[in-house]
Amino acid sequence: MIVVTGGAGFIGSNFVRDWLALNDESVINFDKLTYAGNLSNLASLEHDPRHIFVRGDICDTDRLSRLLAEYKPRAIVHFAAESHVDRSIHSPGEFIATNVNGTFSLLEAARAYWSGLSGERKADFRFLHISTDEVYGTLGPQDPPFHEMTPYAPNSPYSASKAASDHLVRAYFHTYAMPVLTTNCSNNYGPFHFPEKLIPLIISNARAGKALPVYGDGLQVRDWLYVGDHCSAIRRVLEAGCPGEVYNVGGWNEMTNLDVVYTLCDILDTLDPKASGSYREQIIHVQDRPGHDRRYAIDARKIERELGWKPAETFETGIRKTIQWYLDNQAWVRDVQSGDYLSWVQKNYAERNDTKGTTA
């Protein structure tokens, strides 16, 4: 069996569901269930004995050690993290606690467990750390995409905390020879995405008749990766990745934030049209966030060259699937839009007045 941390969150829950759909190996799902951790993401696994949920904090080394000793996994897949840049600007301490201290605690528990193994079980053990392209900083319009040897230059408390965790994972390989792997992914989207992030926020606000907020001029560029593709890349790295290596995972889909919002509006105009007009009429430009990176782009040739992985979805196919999922799962959207979520949205966007006074 494998242990998955943060397996009730967006990417983690997609990974757990896909894992159990594709093989019979059990998953120990260790999650603290913070605001973005949601057991309803895993409702389809409620009666599946291969899915064992354990509520816990990755900062609790003793709890982690007991968990590993009890279940004796062959691998740990580490998703658990605070992951929203805007939240990191307001509350950086939470990101240091989870992303840095929590990863350290997990590494320590994993190192002790792995050191006690022998023979093939020790040789076959893997610790797979899921990270982000944001650790590399920002790119100019003509700069080549991030590759695995791009120097780190994080610009937000979130990306700095993830960079620190990446360095810890690297150190455990070079210092202790622990068989670790790291993936740095581009922006994910897809089903079960918490509605504070751009794509689900726009879908939700559009259908509710609310403003569609775009930071600054909206020309920030991101590489978009469908979450199902990301999960398949993680499975491939776990299966065949070389210990100590880093693999960048991208979708080969660079788009400006404004073009993403336009695309969402246009597809919604077709799939769920308003009584009159276009959803584009709801777009407003709001004050940009501090330190907003201008462009991210991933060079995913290494994982294709060495492991034979490449994304199956284009942005056009993946985003249409995503929008349809949100239209078909309105009960899930309503349930996750709790008081905490609504308070957060109000706090974050109340500070950002309309900077242009017109729609896009």
Domains and CATH numbers, the chain: 2-189+225-252+294-314 (3.40.50.720)
Strand 283-286 with 212-215, pairing:
parallel
> What is the reported pLDDT for 339?
54
Q: Is the per-residue pLDDT at 30 higher than 80?
A: yes
**Between 67 and 339, residue with greater pLDDT:** 67
Q: Tell me the per-residue pLDDT of 185-240, one tens digit each, with 9 for 90 and over.
A: 999 999 999 887 899 999 999 999 999 999 999 999 999 999 999 999 999 999 99
3 state SS of 352: coil
Would the pLDDT of 243 be above 60?
Answer: yes
Whether pLDDT at 344 is above 60:
no
Indicate if the pLDDT at residue 345 is higher than 50. Answer: no
Q: What is the pLDDT of residues 245-298, one digit of tens each?
A: 999 999 999 999 999 999 999 999 999 999 999 999 999 999 998 889 999 999
- Helix runs in 29-179, H state only: 61-71, 85-90, 92-95, 103-115, 119-124, 157-176
The pLDDT assigned to 85 comes to 84
pLDDT band of 338, cuts 50, 70, 90: low
Angle at 248 between CA 16 and CA 113, to 5 degrees: 55
Collapse the DSSP code of 54 into the 3-class scheme (helix H, G, I; strand E, B; otherwise coil) and give the result. Answer: strand
Residue 165 has pLDDT above 80, yes or no: yes
Active-site amino acid positions: 133-134, 158
